[in-house]
Amino acid sequence: MYPHERSLVKRLADKPFALLGINSDPNRKELKKVLKKEQITWRSWWDGGSPYGPIARKWSVREWPTIYVLDAKGVIRYWGIRGKELDEAVDKLLQEIDSGSEKKAADKKEEK
């Protein structure tokens, strides 16, 4: 999973995209070693060393890993997707942002 996440972060470096991680590993020191070894460069929080930590409870995480894809307004649009399906979902949401920007620019031209 980490290689795919790394490629996604790299591919979308110049886009309005953020990958955030929550980790439930019981040993925080060991987790830091894993993050370094696996080249986890995106923001990652430790959720108290339990799969039932405060973040997991707030977001109703029932299995690990759980992936939520949020749109630009913070609305969960996709859940539980991985791989190619994840890429397609993110690309679709980025296209929506681009389309919205193009529409706003066109609307401004019409106002003049």
Residue 58 belongs to domain with CATH number: 3.40.30.10
- The sign of the CA dihedral 66, 47, 32, 44 is positive
Number of domains making up the chain:
1
Question: What backbone torsions phi and psi does residue 58 show, to the nearest 5 degrees?
Answer: -60, -40
Residue 60's Cβ-side half-sphere holds a number of Cα atoms within 13 Å equal to 4
Domain containing 91 equals 2-111
pLDDT tens sequence across 72-90: 999 999 999 999 999 999 9
Residues sharing a CB contact under 8 Å with residue 87, sequence separation 6 or more, in sequence order: 8
Q: Is 105 left (phi over 0), alpha (psi -120 to 50) or beta?
A: alpha
pLDDT tens sequence across 54-72: 999 999 998 999 999 999 9
**Does residue 37 register a pLDDT over 70?**
yes
User: Tokens 């108290």 appear where?
Assistant: 48
Whole-model pTM: value is 0.81
